[in-house]
Amino acid sequence: MNAAIKKHIQFVLEDDSEVMSAALTGDLDDENKRMNRALIKRHEAILAKLDNGKTLSQEDLQLIRDANEIHLNDGANLNGHHRQAVKLDRWLDHMMELDKDKAMQILEQWLDRDARTPARVYRALHTLWEEATPNDVVDEDAFDDEGRCFKCGSRVSFADVADTVVFVGDEIVKRYDGDITNRNCVWCNHPKQYSEFAHHDDDGGSSMRANRHQSGARR
Ligand SMILES: [Zn+2]
């Protein structure tokens, strides 16, 4: 581990512990106080591992990522540690194991940044996704009861409908209406097309545009 990374890990853990221990004297309820104390202990254990040159566990790395987040999100560098936080985040990317869902999410996110990505790349991704979810079940709902996207709150979505048509020669003689498949939030998945439909959302989508930079943040 390089010295600068180690130093920044020590900083984020100590900084986070300081904030949590300050909160202990405030009007936190007992449950939250108990959680803060437990987390401070975990931070101390990680700091001790660093001092002794011991290997950090995946769980340790996740706690470091959590503590680093506030500095990572500090794009205006108000606390003066943004640059180091970005470096630590990249280092964590290399060190932390990636599950299939997370891998899929990263690929989708990067593909959606480039309007020139050919459709076959999305098809390939979809195939991988189906491999990763063998029962064809996505275990998390993407929309709430009112059809609102859980990620961004938008009510606008695109859905594919697969009809089956019966051809006789070149002539269609019968059509069976299909089910809706692949429903995708337009704001999250097709941002370039969103403006066309923005007026269907409550405030014309302005709250989502304002939150654009936080869309990747943990809730
Ligand atoms: Zn969305």
Give the predicted TM-score (pTM) of the model: 0.53
CB 10 within 8 A of CB 50: yes
Q: Give me ligand 1 centre to Cα 186, in Å.
A: 6
Tell me, in angstroms, the distance from the centre of ligand 1 to residue 108's CA.
13
Query: Can you tell me the distance from the alpha carbon of 200 to that of 155, in angstroms, rounded to the nearest whole number?
Result: 7
The phi and psi torsions of 186 (rounded to 5 degrees) equal: -70, -40
Which of 201, 199, 164, 204 lies closest to 181 in space, CA to CA?
164
CA 188 – ligand 1 centroid, Å:
4
Separation of CA 47 and ligand 1 centre (Å): 38
Q: What is the CA(120)–ligand 1 centre distance, in A?
A: 23
CA of 151 to the centre of ligand 1 (A): 5
Strands (E), the chain: 157-161, 164-168, 171-176, 180-185
| Buried-state track 196-207, b at ≥16 Cβ within 10 A, e below 16 | ebbeebeeebee
Q: Reduce the DSSP state of residue 26 to 3 states and report it.
A: coil
pLDDT, position 177: 77
What is the distance in A from the centroid of ligand 1 to the CA of 196?
Answer: 15
- With residues binned 3-state (H G I as helix, E B as strand, rest as coil), the percentages for the chain, rounded to 5, are 55, 10, 35
CA of 107 to the centre of ligand 1 (A): 17
Distance 210 CA to ligand 1 centre (A): 14
pLDDT tens by residue, the chain, 219 residues: 889 999 999 999 999 999 999 988 888 888 999 999 999 999 999 999 999 999 999 999 999 999 999 999 999 998 899 999 999 999 998 899 888 778 888 888 888 777 787 878 878 887 777 776 655 555 567 888 888 888 888 999 988 877 778 888 888 888 877 767 778 899 988 889 999 999 999 888 888 777 765 444 333
Q: Give residue 119 CA to ligand 1 midpoint distance, Å.
A: 20
Partners of 180 in beta bridges: 161
Three-state DSSP at 57 gives coil
- Ligand 1 centroid distance, CA of 138 (Å): 16
Distance from the CA of 157 to the center of ligand 1, in angstroms? 8
Q: How far is CA 208 from the centre of its chain?
A: 16
Residue 67 CA to ligand 1 center (angstroms) comes to 27
Rounded Cα–Cα distance for residues 128 and 104 (Å): 8
Residue 171 pairs in a beta bridge with 168
Q: Which residues make beta-bridge pairs with 161?
A: 180
Give residue 138's pLDDT.
Answer: 57
Stated as kind and residue range, the H or E segment containing 212 is: none
